[in-house]
Amino acid sequence: MISVVILVVSTQLLPAQGFHAVVDHDDIGVGTRSLEVDLSLDLSRVVREVDERFLSVAIDASLVAEEKLMYLLGSPKLRTLAKALAPSYLRFGGTMQDFMVFSSEKFFTQSHEDSCEKMELPPLLEERLKKQWTRQQVLLQKEDLQMKYRRVKFTEYSVDLLTSFANCTEMDLIFGLNALLRTSDNIWNSSNARSLIKYCESKQYRISWELGNEPNSYEKKAGIRVSGSQLGEDFVHLREILRESKLYHNRGLYGPDISQPRDHRKDLLQGFLSTGSQAINACTWHHYYVNGREATLADFISPEVLDSLGVKISEVLESVQLMSPGMRSWLGESSSAYGGGAEGLSDAFVAGFMWLDKLGLAAKMGLDVVIRQVLIGSGTYHLVDDNLDPLPDYWLSLLYKRLVGPEVLMVNTLPVAGLQNQRKKVRVYLHCADRNRGYSKGAITLMAMNLGARPSRLTLPAQLSLGTVEGFVLQSDQPDEAGLYSRSVMLNEKLLQMLDDHTLPELKGNILPPADHLLLPGFSLAFFVFTEAQAAACQ
Ligand SMILES: *[C@@H]1O[C@H](CO)[C@@H](O)[C@H](O)[C@H]1NC(C)=O
Ligand SMILES: *[C@@H]1O[C@H](CO)[C@@H](O)[C@H](O)[C@H]1NC(C)=O
């Protein structure tokens, strides 16, 4: 461990004028002196390693409610954006998955030879579908609010479009099957899943599987109660079906996709694992920090709210290790705020603090994969807007993919008595740099975020102050607190935008000369790549 220096915080107080509700008194002094934070880190040891698809994304199954909207997956723009996030899992699931019934209609058959280009959506049709999708989302949100779900039929169309999207973006598709199709004995009725699997097999579609979404709320959503142990047996049943398939006998099966532990959900998880753990490849659960209808701006930059994820991870890992030692654990669906996101916040620049902190904390604490709700879906926590243009969290995800490798290293901000509150506004995570993206052996990537308005100065250990650093600093395109609500983001003071539907901008770091510190502007998210760190852990 290398740990240095002292933490100095400006005590110089300025009049509090001009500050809004979320900026507490700790931030008084903005513009005078920066918040000093010292980093202590360990470059000798990899703490743990995550899946190379650690940052993954979901398409909400509600897209299928109006089946023609699945054609949106042919959008060249959406495909360009998705492909840049590969390698990644692509989960197709969510509340609607338990109301979806596959219905075979032979009139549509796509030849397997169709190329990715041929499947692209013509611009005029794309414009029309986007308008319909905007209207459809209002309807979906209303249904969600009233918890009134209608059964939805989907055909080969949807399956073909979805698998074409996954294939052409090089993402690994996970398809969520309906677990609410049940017999009178309350056992999963697999007959519909069998016909879907049979169809997918006939097309040689590469798919992994899930069964059921948030079974803890089946009673609320559908008036059906399913115990954890029964659900585990249903998974064993599905595993047997897959085992009989040449194509799927060793593909992944993930579950039970329960909501974060609270009340009886813990029992549900343990019951599930007691009967179903041999059937699954990873244990999945869902996490949202806050209720989208109540969330405030302050929640999104609150260290306490961000820390709450750590408590949940510990609880789940404890249950999983107790019941199935060695079992991997995933955030199978995750975002900022449940109920479709927090309006005006979950799709804004400020959402990045929850997103990057979740990625950092989940990797550090032992989760293997985090699936972001959603790449595209109704609500406001999507990565692309209604025009399919990338939102700030998309750009953040893209930078993460380019710069952050799977090996987690230890880093801490140095605690100083009495200044805990200050220090907590700067949060840091450390990984080896992504070698698949051309970084050399020993390079490391520091993720740093500043939740406060006051700029911060991160003091580096001597060993890191000798090499060059590539700095990628994300800030809102607008200053101060108002900027937190922006749907645009700047990288190193340059607005991020696609060049055209097939082309992303070059994401270039600023080369920073060797120094004993890094500057982190107020309300910023940053990646610093130490290309010459020669970390023993990253050789
Ligand atoms: C799958 O993707 C490859 C390129 O990544 C493409 O050549 C092929 O045609 C695609 N197949 C289908 C069915 O889309
Ligand atoms: C399962 O569902 C199918 C319809 O999809 C039905 O024909 C069959 O009778 C059901 N089986 C049981 C045991 O409920």
The position carrying tokens 């580096």 is 460
Looking from the CA of residue 119, the nearest atom of ligand 1 is: 14
Stated pTM of the model: 0.93
Relative orientation angle of helices 191-202 and 228-243, to the nearest 10 degrees: 30
Query: Any catalytic annotation for residue 333?
Result: yes
Nearest ligand to the C-alpha of residue 119? 1
Q: For 473-479, which contacts have Cβ atoms below 8 Å and span 24 or more sequence positions?
A: 473/510, 473/520, 473/521, 473/524, 473/525, 473/526, 474/352, 474/392, 474/395, 474/396, 474/399, 474/524, 474/525, 474/526, 475/521, 475/523, 475/524, 475/525, 476/349, 476/392, 476/523
Determine, yes or no, domain membership for 236.
yes
> Same domain for 310 and 446?
no
End position of a domain, from candidates 401, 434, 462: 401
**pLDDT confidence bin for 264, thresholds 50/70/90:** low
Q: Which of 126, 214, 407, 470 is catalytic?
A: 214
Q: What is the CATH number of the domain that holds 354?
A: 3.20.20.80
Same domain, 323 and 468: no
Q: Would you state the pLDDT for residue 4?
A: 37
Would you call 63 helix, strand, or coil by DSSP? helix
Average confidence score pLDDT of the chain: 91
Ligand 1 atom nearest residue 170's Cα: 5
Could you read off the pLDDT of 302-311 as tens digits, one per residue? 999 999 999 9
For the chain, give percent helix, strand, coil, nearest 5: 35, 25, 40
3-state secondary structure of 212: coil
Q: Is residue 301 part of a domain?
A: yes
Q: How far apart are CA 137 and CA 134, in angstroms?
A: 5
pLDDT of residue 11: 33
**Is 144 found in the same domain as 223?**
yes
What confidence score (pLDDT) does residue 6 get? Answer: 35
**Whose CA is closest to 165, among 244, 267, 240, 57?**
57
Q: Which ligand is nearest to the CA of 190?
A: 2
pLDDT level of residue 13 (50, 70, 90 thresholds): very low
Whose alpha carbon is nearest atom 5 of ligand 1?
Answer: 168
Does one domain contain both 41 and 104?
no
Give, using CA atoms, the residue closest to atom 6 of ligand 2: 191
In tens, the pLDDT along 320-346 reads: 999 999 999 999 999 999 999 999 999
Ligand 1 centre distance from Cα of residue 48 (Å): 34
**How far away, in angstroms, is 281 Cα from ligand 1 center?**
27
Closest ligand 1 atom, residue 168 Cα: 2
Going by pLDDT thresholds of 50, 70 and 90, the confidence category of residue 107 is low
Q: Is residue 89 domain-shared with residue 72, that is, in the same domain?
A: yes
How would residue 21 be classed by pLDDT, with cut points 50, 70 and 90?
very low
Tell which atom from ligand 2 comes closest to the C-alpha of 183. Answer: 14
Calculate mean pLDDT across residues 424-453: 95
| Spatial distance between the Cα atoms of 53 and 57, rounded to a whole number of angstroms | 10
Predicted pLDDT at 423:
74
pLDDT tens digits along 194-234:
999 999 999 999 999 999 999 999 999 999 999 999 999 99
For residue 392, pLDDT beyond 80:
yes
Shared-domain flag, residues 337 and 457: no
Residues 256, 319: Cα–Cα separation, whole Å: 13
Q: Assess if residue 325 is contained within a domain.
A: yes
The confidence score (pLDDT) of residue 145 equals: 84
Query: Whose CA is closest to atom 3 on ligand 1?
Result: 168
CA of 183 to the centre of ligand 2 (A): 7
Query: Is the predicted pLDDT of residue 294 greater than 90, yes or no?
Result: yes
Determine, yes or no, domain membership for 10.
no
Which domain CATH number covers 498? Answer: 2.60.40.1180
Q: Which of 355, 373, 401 is the last residue of a domain?
A: 401
Same domain, 512 and 530: yes
Ligand 2 atom with the smallest distance to the CA of 184 is 14
pLDDT of the residue at 12: 35
In a domain, 7, yes or no: no
Domain that holds residue 417: 35-49+407-538
Determine, yes or no, domain membership for 483.
yes
Which residue puts its alpha carbon closest to atom 7 of ligand 1? 115
Pocket residues: Cβ below 6 A from ligand 2: 183, 189, 191-192
Q: How confident is the model at residue 110 (pLDDT cuts 50, 70, 90)?
A: low
Most informative mutation of 79, 111, 115 for ligand 1 (most atoms within 8 A of CB): 115
Does residue 474 share a domain with residue 427? Answer: yes
pLDDT on residue 449: 98
Q: Which ligand is nearest to the CA of 166?
A: 1
For residue 189, which ligand has an atom nearest its CA? 2
Summarize pLDDT for 161-191 with one digit per residue, the tens. 999 999 999 999 999 999 999 999 999 999 9
Instruction: Establish if 356 belongs to a structural domain.
Output: yes
Number of domains in the chain: 2
Indicate if 387 and 481 belong to the same structural domain: no
Whether residue 39 sits in one domain with residue 97 = no
Per-residue pLDDT at 453 exceeds 80: yes
Q: Which is catalytic among the residues 126, 210, 333, 481?
A: 333
Nearest alpha carbon, ligand 2 atom 8: 191
Checking if the pLDDT of 424 tops 50, the result is yes
**Boundary of a domain, candidates 381, 401, 421:** 401
Query: Is residue 336 domain-shared with residue 460, that is, in the same domain?
Result: no
Ligand 1: residues with CB < 6 A are 112, 114-116, 164, 167-168
Residue 411 located in a structural domain: yes
Q: In this structure, are 135 and 222 located in the same domain?
A: yes
Atom of ligand 1 nearest to the CA of 110: 13
Q: How far is the CA of 341 from the centre of ligand 1 (A)?
A: 34
Q: Which of 7-21, 115-129, 220-234 has the lowest mean pLDDT?
A: 7-21
Per-residue pLDDT, 80? 98
Q: What is the pLDDT of residue 420?
A: 66
Active site residue 318: no
Q: Say how many Å lie between the CA of residue 500 and the centre of ligand 1.
A: 22
